[in-house]
Amino acid sequence: MQIAVIGIGPGNPEQVTFEAVRSLNAADIVLIPRKGAEKADLAELRREICRRYLDNPATRIVEFDLPQRDARPDYRGAVADWHRAIAATYDALLDREAGPDSTVALLVWGDPSLYDSTLRILALMKADFALRVVPGITSLQALAARHAMPLNTVAGEVLITTGRRLREAPPEADTVAVMLDGDCAFRTLPAADWDIAWAAYLGMAAEIAVAGPLAEVGDRIRETRDAARAEHGWIMDTYVLRRREAG
Ligand SMILES: C[S@@+](CC[C@H](N)C(=O)[O-])C[C@H]1O[C@@H](n2cnc3c(N)ncnc32)[C@H](O)[C@@H]1O
């Protein structure tokens, strides 16, 4: 069995690569996870990608429910159990749906290398398979493109981190890319020291973006984010912070 883990970009079907389309059409089975009502739009993007690009009549689409992570306080323990539960779900699914010669495609949001545990989860599976990864455009690339900005300063470094970690300790890097932030962690920084380039729903019809000195646009980002989240029922946003004297 071969499993192809295919990066599909961060939400715009036009940002799916030729290699991804070719790999999709080479698959016998495409697995589409359903992650609960909040993420219904994300499953819909995967379906839309299949509608647009899948023209191999022999390829079957199999949708399945992903186990949910339990919300206990021991975060790392909960994640480890959750990953094991997903690996067991994949094992059962492939046992039922795939044969030893099948090629199975898993569509991963953005790129599988960035804040995505698919590759870690596959390593927990019991099944034997060859693994192939097809890279996709990440939300950070889409963000940098949206704001027409280079991610790094000249010869500078970029810290890629989460909202949770930004809240825990002030960063030392000139440029900080923040993902998975449920609560505007940039508010914990001294606003006068930073510029911010923020966007939500990158590549989708609902895309919104705000950029400027953090002291001037921080509140607007928070209000915009709250309103968008209330309107859509979910939000995915990301931002880059640049220390002001770093240029
Ligand atoms: C689980 S991570 C997956 C990242 C993905 N593997 C990638 O390459 O971009 C999800 C986070 O990525 C960011 N993200 C993904 N897609 C996005 C989009 N279309 N617009 C804004 N942020 C996005 C958000 O910070 C979100 O919380």
pLDDT tens profile 24-62: 999 999 998 887 655 677 778 888 999 999 999 999 999
Tokens linked to 105: 């495609």
- The model's pTM is 0.94
Mean pLDDT of 66-90: 90
Residue whose pair of structure tokens reads 């191999």 in the numeric block: 56
Ligand 1 contact via 180 beta carbon (within 6 Å): yes
Query: Residue whose CA is closest, atom 3 of ligand 1?
Result: 115
Ligand 1 contact via 237 beta carbon (within 6 Å): yes
The whole-number pLDDT of residue 158 equals 97
Q: Sign of torsion, CA 243 186 199 176?
A: positive
Decide: helix, strand or coil at residue 105: strand
What is the CA 96 to chain-centroid distance, rounded?
Answer: 28
Q: Could you count the other beta carbons within 10 Å of the beta carbon of residue 144?
A: 18
The strand pairing partners of 134, in sequence order, are 6
Minimum-distance ligand 1 atom for the alpha carbon of 207? 20
The strand pairing partners of 132, in sequence order, are 4
Ligand 1 contact via 179 beta carbon (within 6 Å): yes
DSSP state of 4: E
Reported as a single tens digit per residue, the pLDDT across 112-139 is 999 999 999 999 999 999 999 999 999 9
